[in-house]
């Protein structure tokens, strides 16, 4: 199979070829590996190759809805037994997982052929993918720019044609941000729908979930059926899964939807004209398709939400670092300074402060629910600006040195109480201020690749739905995909 033939099919299409006997899983794997060998030296999307394991898979009889389709895991939380889950950290590169995570087992049961793991920022804490452990990952549409994060390697691999779909996860936008940067589709499922086991009940207090990034909507819909086919009996939820498969619901024409849109950053920070244009063009397309679209603000205190999000995020970072130290004996120098500072900030919190912050999630969730009483969906930019240049969001060397000094002198507790610290936290979220809302509230949300900047960079728009709105989101995305096709767009690598 030539690359051109391979690239012309999505994952559902490749699985159909295998089912009809027109191509073998080994041939598809050869095509995927050849493409990776050709382009990944420029992208650094795949940080761990598993070619031998994949070839052994193709030697067996494969079954399932995606039997024989090449696939990549994200190197964060998606554990494959016997293979390290590096999590973008120098501290974990040599420690192999003892068992498959639930989502990985479901992907294997679906017949996917897993031949590698993709790059992520350390512990997924950044919206770019530039970890010290594995190096910079680049955007296939312009190698000087980021593919986003933290699922940047997954999005880069899909956009570059290595695989039609790849494993991803989203704790603050990490499916939607890379999808928006790379011109592909990304759905963050709602809380509790996709299992997080067996090593945790739910990730980031329920803010995070696994999923995929893909070139086509139907691939994501079919994958959601794979991931939700049975409940995780050890998990905290019994999710309400529709009787009709998501793949079928995605093909249905959506009803006339009420969609409220805003281009105002919830942090009050600037929003680039390209991001505004992306939303305005999407609103015009929705109006053309017969939906009711109007400006509307969800009425949420975005600064308070950002602070509550970062309280949870820093506490989880501290817990993660402590767990790794206990498990591996890792030293401080094996963790990035930025994450050590986040952890130090968390250690300065009182337990009561954390509990109060977590309780405020209810305020944000009910405010969004009130919005969804008036509108079926909220439309925003996915990013406040086009994909940033590589290194643009890196902590400046002097600030890194200052951080190291504060850590050594144990003065971080004082520093994290200052206005400068809080301003820096908000500045780091300014390029991606729209995505954390869906994580805090547990609502499904998607990034749809409807816009290109004047320089040719992708820039997606986000839709946030209410509880259980995955079928509505998928049906709308299918309608938009038919009206504004994107799957065959390909970067010149």
| Identified catalytic residue from 74, 117, 126, 188 | 74
Calpha distance 140→88 (Å, rounded)? 20
Catalytic annotation on 174?
yes
Whether 186 and 176 have beta carbons less than 8 Å apart is answered as yes
Query: What is the C-alpha to C-alpha distance for residues 154 and 176, in angstroms, rounded to an integer?
Result: 12
117 catalytic? Reply is no
Peptide bond into 254 cis (omega under 30): no
Classify burial at 84, counting beta carbons within 10 Å of its beta carbon; exposed 0-12, middle 13-18, buried 19 or more.
middle
Residue tagged active-site, from 174, 205, 214, 357: 174
Give yes or no for residue 472 having a pLDDT over 70: yes
Place of tokens 């950290």: 89
Q: Which one is catalytic: 87, 101, 121, 150?
A: 150
* pLDDT tens by residue, 244-259: 999 999 999 999 999 9
DSSP character string of 48-100: EE-HHHHHHHHHSPP-STTTT-EEEEETTT---BTSB--TT-GGGTT-BBSS-
**E-strand spans in 426-482?**
445-448, 461-465
Residue 92: pLDDT above 80? Answer: yes
**Residue 188 pLDDT greater than 70, yes or no:** yes
Q: Give the Cα separation of 55 and 288 in Å (integer).
A: 48
Counting Cα atoms < 13 Å in the Cβ hemisphere of 235 gives: 23
Question: Dihedrals φ, ψ of 328, to 5°?
Answer: -115, -15
Q: Which residues contact 178 (CB under 8 A, 6 or more apart)?
A: 129, 147, 148, 149, 150, 151, 152, 154, 155, 156, 168, 186, 213
Is 325 tagged catalytic?
no
On the 0-12 / 13-18 / 19+ scale of CB atoms within 10 A, 471 is buried
User: How does residue 57 score in pLDDT terms, banded at 50, 70 and 90?
Assistant: very high
pTM for this model (two decimals): 0.97
Which tokens hold the place of 491?
């970067």
Q: Decide if pLDDT at 174 tops 90.
A: yes
Cis-peptide into 150, omega within 30 deg:
yes
* pLDDT score recorded for residue 413: 65
How do residues 306-346 score in pLDDT, each as one tens digit? 999 999 999 999 999 999 999 999 999 999 999 998 998 89
Residue 381 has pLDDT above 90, yes or no: yes
């Amino acid at each position: 199979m030539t690359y051109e033939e391979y690239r012309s099919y999505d994952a559902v299409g490749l699985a159909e070829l295998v089912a009809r006997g027109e191509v073998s899983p080994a041939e598809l794997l050869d095509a995927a590996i050849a493409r990776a060998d050709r382009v990944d030296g420029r992208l650094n999307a795949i940080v761990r190759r598993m070619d031998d394991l994949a070839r052994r898979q193709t030697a067996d009889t494969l079954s399932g809805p995606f039997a024989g389709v090449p696939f990549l895991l994200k190197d964060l939380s998606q554990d494959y037994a016997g293979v390290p889950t590096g999590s973008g950290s120098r501290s974990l590169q040599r420690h192999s997982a003892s068992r498959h995570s639930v989502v990985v087992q479901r992907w294997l049961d679906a017949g996917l052929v897993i031949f590698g793991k993709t790059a992520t920022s350390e512990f997924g804490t950044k919206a770019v993918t530039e970890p010290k452990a594995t190096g910079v990952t680049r955007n296939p549409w312009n190698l000087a720019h980021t593919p986003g994060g933290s699922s940047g390697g997954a999005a880069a691999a899909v956009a570059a044609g290595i695989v039609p779909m790849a494993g991803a996860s989203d704790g603050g936008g990490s499916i939607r941000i890379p999808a928006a940067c790379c011109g592909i589709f990304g759905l963050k499922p709602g809380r509790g729908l996709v299992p997080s086991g067996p090593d945790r009940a739910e990730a980031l207090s329920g803010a995070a979930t696994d999923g995929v990034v893909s070139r086509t909507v139907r691939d994501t819909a079919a994958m959601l059926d794979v991931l939700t086919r049975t409940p995780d009996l050890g998990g905290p939820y019994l999710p309400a899964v529709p009787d009709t498969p998501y793949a079928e619901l995605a093909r249905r024409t959506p009803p006339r939807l009420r969609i409220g849109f805003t281009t105002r950053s919830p942090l009050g920070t600037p929003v680039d004209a390209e991001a505004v244009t992306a939303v305005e063009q999407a609103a015009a397309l929705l109006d053309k398709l017969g939906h009711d679209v109007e400006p509307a603000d969800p009425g949420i205190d975005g600064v308070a939400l950002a602070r509550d999000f970062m309280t949870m995020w820093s506490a989880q970072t501290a817990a993660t670092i402590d767990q790794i130290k206990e498990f591996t004996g890792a030293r401080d120098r094996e963790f990035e300074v930025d994450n050590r500072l986040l952890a130090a900030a968390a250690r300065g919190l009182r337990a009561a402060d954390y509990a109060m912050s977590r309780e405020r999630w209810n305020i944000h969730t009910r405010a969004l629910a009130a919005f969804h009483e008036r509108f079926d969906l909220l439309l925003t930019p996915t990013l406040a600006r086009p994909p940033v240049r590589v290194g643009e969001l890196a902590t400046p060397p002097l600030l890194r040195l200052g951080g190291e000094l504060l850590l050594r002198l144990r003065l971080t507790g004082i520093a994290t109480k200052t206005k400068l610290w809080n301003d820096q936290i908000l500045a780091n979220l300014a390029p991606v201020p729209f995505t954390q809302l869906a994580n805090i509230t547990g609502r499904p949300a998607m990034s749809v690749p409807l816009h290109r900047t004047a320089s040719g960079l992708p820039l997606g728009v986000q839709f946030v739905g209410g509880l259980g709105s995955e079928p509505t989101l998928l049906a709308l995305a299918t309608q938009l995909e038919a009206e504004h096709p994107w799957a065959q767009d390909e970067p010149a690598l």
